[in-house]
Amino acid sequence: MQFIDQVKIHVKAGDGGRGCVSFRREKYVPRGGPNGGNGGKGGHIIFRATRDVNTLLDVRYQQHYRAERGEHGMGKDMHGKNGKDLIISVPIGTIIKDSLTDETLEDLIKDGQEFISAKGGRGGLGNTHFKTPTRQAPKFAQPGEPGEEKTLILELKLLADVGLIGLPNAGKSTLISVISSAKPKIADYPFTTLVPVLGVVKAKGFKSFVVADIPGLIEGAHKGAGLGFQFLRHVERTSILLHLVDVSEMAEGDPVSNFEKINKELKLYSPELLKKPQAVVGTKIDIKGSGKRLDRLAKYCKDKNYDFFPICAITGQGIKKLITHLGKKVEEYKSSK
């Protein structure tokens, strides 16, 4: 399944039905008077967040939405039927923006949360409504009001507690597969993970939390290098960033330099990201060689006051301590909010 996290769509709420101009015409009723009914209101365009949808793929392939219009009023005081609301299901974490102003109209962060993005037009009043003692036979009625029409941008930001970041092949997919039931594709080449992957972690003594593996970060990502920065929006909601650095003897580049490259990309994307709590994980310590790379990264983290965890996801070394730390930090962050 394709992972689509940003689309532009056009929505048009239903127009209101027009009011009716009608008069009673019955035998033995010489002055029947007006009996034109009101028009029905147009249907709204409503977005509903649901756990049953994980991507904006369906919305991408239907980019024009029109709600049902209200029926026109009729004689004998019969009102037109209201148009049906059009409900569009989107994933939890979807942000709805106005494409012209870039203003955020709504942030759907709860299952079942709804937002009326375009209101249906009001139905027109029939001529019955305008009858007065001095105007007993009005020959006019109101037209229905047009429904709202907008062009919107839908942007999905995953709701995760922990965001895994790091260069390709740092071990993010392996870690999330070990600490959760997520089954990402794992291979020894860059950009194995092409879309964000979510996993639920059950930490002993803490509530379960959600971890997101964010793919495609390399130097120059903010300019579109690699997979670019299109997935960085998914770490904006996280409680803590977990930065994975490969310290094995086979890794390319200096571990401290690799760490700083990714943090630089985060800052260029949004300085607010670096204000989040961040822990550092030295991965693949089972093939650390002489251990110089591991020691260098550990010393750097100590000097910079980063929490540091050397692990081997394959053997499980250091995993329990890391999960406990994450569970504690997530609860601290949520309680502070």
What are the 10-residue block averages of pLDDT along the chain, 337 residues in total? Answer: 74 96 81 89 95 81 93 93 95 91 92 95 94 89 95 86 86 86 55 67 82 73 55 79 90 90 86 88 88 92 94 90 90 79
Q: Does a structural domain hold residue 11?
A: yes
What lies within 8 Å, CB to CB, of 201 at 6+ separation is 162, 179, 180, 208, 209, 210, 211, 323, 326, 327
Q: Does a structural domain hold residue 186?
A: yes
Amino acid at 144: G
Helix ranges restricted to H, the chain: 57-60, 172-179, 255-269, 292-304, 319-336
Q: Does a structural domain hold residue 1?
A: no
Q: Are residues 70 and 148 in the same domain?
A: yes
Q: Are residues 142 and 171 in the same domain?
A: no
Q: Are residues 244 and 317 in the same domain?
A: yes
Q: Are residues 185 and 296 in the same domain?
A: yes
Give the whole-angstrom CA distance, residue 180 versus residue 198: 9
The β-bridge partners of 241 are 163, 278
Q: What is the pTM of this model?
A: 0.69
Taking alpha carbons only, the member of 58, 110, 114 closest to residue 86 is 114
Q: Which domain holds residue 81?
A: 6-156
- Domain-terminating residue out of 127, 156, 185: 156
Q: Are residues 102 and 29 in the same domain?
A: yes
The region that residue 302 occupies, defined by phi over 0 for left and psi between -120 and 50 for alpha, beta otherwise, is alpha
Q: Domain with 310 in it: what CATH number? A: 3.40.50.300
Q: Are residues 240 and 260 in the same domain?
A: yes
Taking alpha carbons only, the member of 174, 216, 175, 164 closest to residue 194 is 216
The β-bridge partners of 107 are 95
Decide: residue 135, CB within 10 A, 0-12 exposed, 13-18 middle, 19+ buried. Answer: exposed
Give the pLDDT confidence score for residue 68 in this predicted structure.
96
The secondary structure element, H or E, covering residue 155 is: strand 149-156
Q: Does a structural domain hold residue 170?
A: yes
Q: Are residues 180 and 325 in the same domain?
A: yes
- Domain-terminating residue out of 93, 128, 156: 156
Q: Are residues 205 and 315 in the same domain?
A: yes
Give the whole-angstrom CA distance, residue 227 versus residue 233: 13
Q: Are residues 127 and 188 in the same domain?
A: no
- Domain-terminating residue out of 156, 180, 199: 156
Give the whole-angstrom CA distance, residue 38 versus residue 238: 51
Q: Domain with 132 in it: what CATH number? A: 2.70.210.12
Q: Are residues 312 and 169 in the same domain?
A: yes
The number of CA neighbours under 13 Å toward the Cβ of 235 is 32
Q: Are residues 104 and 216 in the same domain?
A: no
Q: Are residues 206 and 101 in the same domain?
A: no
Looking at the structure of the chain, the number of domains it has is 2
